[in-house]
Amino acid sequence: MRALMLHAEHELPRIEEAPKPHPGPGQVVVRVSAAGLNYADTMMRRGFYLQKPQFPFIPGFEFSGVVEETGPDVAAVKPGDRVMGTGEGAFAEFAKAAPVLLMPVPDGFSDEEAAGFPVVYLTAMGMLRLSVRAARGETILIHAAAGGVGTAAIQLSKHLGLRVIATASSDEKLALARRLGADVTINYSTENFVEPVLAATNGRGVDIVFESIGGDFLARDIQVAAPFGRIVVFGMASGQTTNPDVGALFHNSVAVSAFWMFTLALHPELLPPVAKELLDIVRQANIRPVIGGVYSLEQAAGAIQAMEARRTTGKIILKP
């Protein structure tokens, strides 16, 4: 099969022939229709992701497609089912996954929309429900609001009755955030977001922060957190980690936690309720992923470099 292969850190993947995967017990093989490029893929390439891959390997862990083959003891899906989800080696013609990590494709979704859905929407919904237990009427600050998780978080937060303050690095990206429902937008490249956030909340601060930038953002997040505010760190797009100033947390009794979507995969009992509510919301509110671009495998290197340079919005999709 045709696949993108990554041979070492700091290289770009290239197309090669690779063996088609075969399902073991409790596994399925999916013929990939489209695959989602995530910032985690770029972090893995540059060597600062949580997991260190064994090179060479086929990157990509999010896809849509049709079940090709099932292994022993698989009853949840069958060959021919149209699915979306997460698994191994998605930047190829075939990928392998566990059935618990697959979801049916909602009616009306294109292959590209389905491929851009699982990671960012499960991440956003997991943070809203499991990490911060968001309540109607609260205010949330979403950084990198025009990215994959950001666009998903805006849509879901508005559906759940939250007031959304969104930050992004350009006015074009902020316009997208407003189209998705953001109530207040701030360009963090041209101004420090602390003062406008406090002004927008009459000095009280925000109840929830979705933090994915790294560097000095966490220190500023603490400054804008309301009493008993909750900050969730789920990325470090800048590549710079930071430790919270514990002393600063005391002033408003602020909680800082972390979220990694693959924790849901490691604890599969947590995943079905989140996925069910998410799919119910999609049916009720007609929520769709924001597709920022569709590329062939031959164009993947350019797509990766554009994401790393923060020139992309929404979800970037690769087609085998």
- Give the model's pLDDT for residue 215: 84
- Give the model's pLDDT for residue 239: 65
pLDDT of 114 strictly over 90: yes
Domain hosting residue 181, numbered range: 125-262
Per-residue pLDDT tens digits for 267-311: 878 888 999 999 999 999 989 999 999 999 999 999 999 999 889
Give the number of domains in the chain. Answer: 2
pTM of the full predicted structure?
0.94
pLDDT of 67 strictly over 90: yes
Cβ atoms 289, 149 nearer than 8 A: no
Q: In terms of domains, do 160 and 219 share one?
A: yes
* One-letter amino acid of 17: E
Packing angle of the helix pair 148-159, 271-285 (nearest 10 deg) = 70
Q: In terms of domains, do 148 and 199 share one?
A: yes
- Give the model's pLDDT for residue 243: 78
- Give the model's pLDDT for residue 39: 87
pLDDT of 232 strictly over 90: yes
Q: In terms of domains, do 79 and 160 share one?
A: no
**Phi-psi map region of 129: left, alpha, beta (phi>0 left; psi -120 to 50 alpha):** alpha
Residue 42 is assigned to a structural domain of this protein: yes
High-pLDDT (> 90) share of the chain, %: 80
pLDDT of 236 strictly over 80: no
Residue 276 is assigned to a structural domain of this protein: no
Q: Which of 227, 213, 209, 241 is nearest to 144 (CA)?
A: 213
- Give the model's pLDDT for residue 238: 64
Instruction: Indicate the average pLDDT of the chain.
Output: 93
Spacing of C-alpha 80 from chain mean position: 27
Q: In terms of domains, do 257 and 146 share one?
A: yes
Residue 174 is assigned to a structural domain of this protein: yes
List phi, psi (to 5°) of 212.
-140, 10
- Give the model's pLDDT for residue 49: 76
List phi, psi (to 5°) of 164.
-110, 125
**Is the CA virtual torsion 28, 29, 34, 35 positive or negative?**
positive
Q: In terms of domains, do 180 and 239 share one?
A: yes
- Give the model's pLDDT for residue 47: 78
What's the mean pLDDT in 191-217? 95
pLDDT of 237 strictly over 90: no
Residue 279 is assigned to a structural domain of this protein: no
